[in-house]
Amino acid sequence: MRTLIFHDGALGDVLLSLPCIMAIGKHPASLEVVCRDDVGRLLKASGVVHGAYSSDSNIFSPWYAGRLDNAARELLGCYGRVFVFTLREGSDLAKNIARTVLDTRVIITVPPADDRTHVAEFRLRQLQDALRHDGPVRLSIPPDLRRQAREVLTRAGHDGQKRLIVLHPGSGGKRKCWPLERYFELAERMAEKAGAFILFLTGPAEELLARERIEGFVRARTGMAHVADADLITVAGILVQCGLFAGNDSGISHLAASVGAPVVALFGPTDPALWKPCSETVRVVAARTLDAISVADVFEATTECGAWTVSA
């Protein structure tokens, strides 16, 4: 059975749905997804789905309002099941799709205010057959993509011998960002550990001033580097090779957890009980405000997740 998933959330939101998506994908002959372009390419490259459409494509604009046109009905006619990940049951998108595909199912993405279930489990338990996975849910990064990422790391100055530590100081909102100065202090403390190479990752969400400050910081120090605006697949290839990742509540933190990296995730305004990355390798450092989290708190968490254990 060909199955289509419609999930136009940001990276972190899609990765929180990964247990549910993988459960859906256990049986159909073909599983395709409509999502953000870079996220779709990542899911396809890692073998989670067989194909991906960009939700930014003009073909999907009418799906959100009014009735579907002939092109949309023709596309949907290829599928026996559709899963729509959405905030509310009665969304126009789900209603429009259901007019063409009778087996259209809605996965509500956020639990009610009185439900303390982690969002990944909340989404998963909405599947009628309550499928579960054996072992952890992981993104598999193919060898060729790891090699491409290795080339980026080599150009950044990593010799492949020192333990790679990745710091991601950004997020989709300033409220969720730990002060940049503390990332700098954390990096200096980590650099004192034998064999550590510190890599700062930044993306389009980070302000130019922050990038310039990071660039100036690493330029004045040995054993540190900064990689900006790498595509998502390359970032995944970097993260799967790192010995530790530390970052804010962001999509990249969820990605690091999804590839199995040891993760220290910093939470302030958002509740980690509901939103923390899905992995047994994650350690959360949380406070009511991120400003209340000290460098010592984060450094201690890196020890708890085995960041300084000597590799075999």
Q: What is the pLDDT of residues 258-273, one digit of tens each?
A: 999 999 999 999 999 9
What is the residue-averaged pLDDT of the chain?
91
Q: Is residue 213 part of a domain?
A: yes
Q: How many domains does the chain have?
A: 2
Last residue of a domain, which of 124, 157, 184? 124
pLDDT at residue 312 greater than cutoff 60:
no
Most confident range, picked from 57-66, 142-151, 206-215 = 142-151
pLDDT at residue 179 greater than cutoff 80:
yes
Q: Is residue 150 part of a domain?
A: yes
Q: Is residue 131 part of a domain?
A: no
pLDDT at residue 311 greater than cutoff 50:
no
Q: Is residue 133 part of a domain?
A: no
Question: pLDDT tier at 130 (50, 70, 90 boundaries)?
Answer: low
pLDDT tens sequence across 198-257: 999 998 877 888 999 999 999 999 999 999 999 999 999 999 999 999 999 999 999 999
pLDDT tens sequence across 189-214: 998 876 789 999 998 877 888 999 99
pLDDT at residue 59 greater than cutoff 70:
yes
| 295 shares a domain with 154 | yes
Task: Count CB-CB contacts under 10 A for residue 171.
Answer: 23
Last residue of a domain, which of 124, 152, 177? 124
Q: Are 222 and 190 in contact (CB under 8 A)?
A: no
Q: Is residue 132 part of a domain?
A: no
The residue segments making up the domain with residue 233 are 143-304
Residue 300, SS3 per DSSP:
helix
Give the span between the Cα atoms of 284 and 265, in whole angstroms: 5
| 79 shares a domain with 211 | no
| 166 shares a domain with 101 | no
Give the span between the Cα atoms of 244 and 264, in whole angstroms: 8
CATH of the domain at 172: 3.40.50.2000
| 281 shares a domain with 175 | yes
| 160 shares a domain with 79 | no
Q: Angle formed by the axes of helices 37-45 and 232-239, to 10°?
A: 50
Residue 247, SS3 per DSSP:
strand
Q: What is the mean pLDDT of residues 162-181?
A: 92
Cβ neighbours for 230, distance < 8 A, ≥ 6 positions apart: 152, 201, 203, 238
pLDDT score of 306 = 63
pLDDT at residue 136 greater than cutoff 70:
no
| 251 shares a domain with 107 | no
Q: Is residue 129 part of a domain?
A: no
pLDDT at residue 310 greater than cutoff 50:
no
Burial (CB count within 10 angstroms: exposed 0-12, middle 13-18, buried 19+), residue 310:
exposed
| 165 shares a domain with 71 | no
pLDDT tens sequence across 75-87: 999 999 999 999 9
Last residue of a domain, which of 72, 90, 124? 124
| 70 shares a domain with 218 | no
| 103 shares a domain with 215 | no
Residue ranges of alpha helices (H) inside 51-106 are 70-76, 92-98
| 269 shares a domain with 203 | yes
Residue 36, SS3 per DSSP:
coil
